[in-house]
Amino acid sequence: MKILFLLFVVLTISNNLFSQSVVLHKNGGSKDTVAVADVDSITFLPFICGLSKVKYANQIYRTVQIGSQCWFKDNLNVGVMAPPSNDGIIDKYCYNNDPANCAIYGGLYYWYEAMQWVTTEGAKGICPVGWHMPTEAEAEALVAFVNNDGNALKREDQGTDAGQGTNTSGFSALLAGAKDYNDGYFQGLGTWASFYVGKIGSCGYSCVYTIGIINNTSVITTGQGAMPDWGLSVRCIKDN
């Protein structure tokens, strides 16, 4: 928006204003070229969850309105493939160390990395400005909205039998698997997924809150379900 505004200022003081064109860059990478003489007015629409997308770190994320909450519709995929360290660079795992899996399923993150090395519940973490790691209350509200039906969270091509996704919520969850604790093996691709919640557990620094779904059941598991050194998926939720 600032670039477009600056462009109009420059064109306004130009002697040949009406022979100029404006290039409009859209989310997703497409662009249109419009002659200034053909522009009657410009209106910048407000963010509309479910319609608007978020550009963050050169990637485009869809959004979805679920009840009163606005969530990313895609797993977060930001950072570089490297073991987690508090060095100011976002680190991630890709399943089986294959970048193609990050492109499909998003990154797998160490909890402290996802929280950017703070433990305040609902911190911004690795989410973009205006978004944050979900709180326990926000996670429970999501589960309550879908009546604890994990199939309502899964994309339609995810899950089997009693766990076949219906995606009635639009959350479009993928069974992205995980990296085992303490830098262990990758496991669970196509079988289960867990999403980190931005809250540390009552057992101290050895457990954190998650939302979990499995391929062959509709049950959602929530609570202190993982150690913080697992590599798990991340979904951001919009600030109020």
Residue type, 153: L
Residue 61 near residue 72 (C-beta atoms within 8 A): yes
Residues 6+ apart with CB under 8 A from 163: 150, 151, 154, 213, 214, 215, 216, 217, 218
Could you write out the DSSP letters of every residue in 153-221? TB-TTS--GGG----TTS--B--EEEE-TTT--EEEETTEEEEEEEEE-TT-TT-EEEEEEETT---EE
Distance CA 80, CA 83 (A): 9
Q: What angle do CA 42, 44, 48 make, to 5 degrees?
A: 150
- Tens of pLDDT, residue by residue over 103-141, are 999 999 999 999 999 999 999 999 999 999 999 999 999
Q: What is the mean pLDDT of residues 179-186?
A: 87
pLDDT of residue 4: 40
What percentage of the chain carries pLDDT values higher than 70? 85
Q: Name the more confident of 26 and 204.
A: 204
Q: Tell which residue, 236, 239, 240, has the closest CA to residue 57.
A: 236
Residue 214: pLDDT band with limits 50, 70, 90? very high
Residue 1: pLDDT band with limits 50, 70, 90? very low
pLDDT of residue 9: 34
Q: Which of 35-49, 149-163, 181-195, 204-218 shows the lowest mean pLDDT across its residues?
A: 35-49
- Tens of pLDDT, residue by residue over 26-57, are 554 567 787 877 775 565 679 999 999 999 99
pLDDT of residue 151: 98
- Tens of pLDDT, residue by residue over 14-23, are 344 445 676 6
Using the predicted structure, report yes or no on whether residue 78 has a pLDDT greater than 80.
Answer: yes
Residue 126 near residue 76 (C-beta atoms within 8 A): yes
Q: Tell which residue, 69, 95, 94, has the closest CA to residue 171.
A: 69
In the block, which residue shows the tokens 């039906």?
A: 149
